[in-house]
Amino acid sequence: MTYKNILVCGAGGFIGSHLVKRLKTEGHWVRGVDVKHPEFSKSPADDFVIADLSRQIECAKVFDRSFDAVYQLAADMGGAGYIFTGDNDANVMQNSVAINLNVLEAAQNCGTHRIFYSSSACVYPEGNQLDENNPVTSEASVYPANPDSEYGWEKLFSERLYMAYNRNNGMKNHIARYHNIFGPEGTWCGGREKVPAALCRKIAEAANGGSIEIWGDGKQTRSFLYVDACVEGSLRLMDSDFEGPVNIGSEEMVSINQLAGLIMDIAGKNLTVVHIPGPLGVRGRNSDNRLIREKLGWEPDYRLADGIEKTYRWIFDQINAR
Ligand code: NAD
């Protein structure tokens, strides 16, 4: 294997910190960059730079050499409680667009040609995801565009930006659309957590026989992908000639009520579910893996129950360590 020098942007975040660990086990030289260190364990990166990539000068300093590969995962990000309330729209768009503009320009200036960009299933039109049993997320269905959040619009714009640099400036950027990634060392409290972590926390904290609250009627559907499979897919895409955009997600779709039931089984608890109003996002969403199967001859196959079991145990330990 040829060892590479690699930059991971957003290395203090959930997926970025897992990605750095994986790259280090493969022997690569890794620089991580983020506005913060990872929250739950020390980064094994060879070099970890604290920098705000939305500031052009700080970003340019991080690109002080040509990298064999850059993984750009830095974004202003959160679950439904952060993305869908509308309260954070201006920050989400301003920060993330600025990061992507700066990263592309700095990469080009130092002779770096290959950037992995983490887009999102949130780019898909809301109108194709109204039926919880038959959501449409084939890659080509993204146009005509109508994402249901400003976060989704920003991701779509930035996809186009990375592709424009490919067309006009000879870059080899690769784009993945992640679908609901979860796992240990992800945000599990504080308002930016996503549904698997939020439900694990609520169920771990509830006394057996008690109750938990779920936003909406719980019949909305999603698929969830364990972080190790997400990292594997990202590396495979980056090592391929296929530039995407391509879904990286699971096709194991469940309703939120079913997910809650699965976590209760793992926890060994019987709880009543109370449905309350809250920010929801689209009615149904599942990953469509036809294109990744065709282009990479591979798709994520990590069982939801196995990933949830590991995540529940980790969140349970976090709560008990408080
Ligand atoms: P995360 O919030 O844990 O990680 C993002 C990191 O970016 C954070 O550590 C944050 O501090 C950093 N960041 C934000 N602004 C920055 C700035 N100005 N300069 C430097 N660093 C900055 O999120 P994550 O779940 O690890 O997601 C990683 C990427 O994948 C994001 O781009 C996200 O939009 C995308 N994505 C994630 C999911 C998911 O389910 N987790 C789904 C779709 C897409």
Distance 248 CA to ligand 1 centre (A): 16
Q: How confident is the model at residue 47 (pLDDT cuts 50, 70, 90)?
A: very high
Q: How confident is the model at residue 192 (pLDDT cuts 50, 70, 90)?
A: confident
- Please write the tens of the pLDDT for every residue from 118-152: 999 999 999 999 999 999 999 999 999 999 899 99
List the alpha helices (DSSP H) in 177-298.
195-205, 227-239, 256-267, 290-296
As given in the structure block, the two tokens for residue 143 are 């146009």
Q: Whole-prediction pTM value?
A: 0.96
Catalytic residue among 124, 151, 178, 302: 151
- C-alpha 282/C-alpha 284 separation (Å) is 6
Distance 90 CA to ligand 1 centre (A): 16
Whether the CB of 96 sits within 6 Å of ligand 1: no
Q: What is the pLDDT of residue 1?
A: 67
Whether the CB of 151 sits within 6 Å of ligand 1: no
Whether the CB of 54 sits within 6 Å of ligand 1: yes
Q: Kindly state the DSSP code that residue 207 receives in the 8-state scheme.
A: P
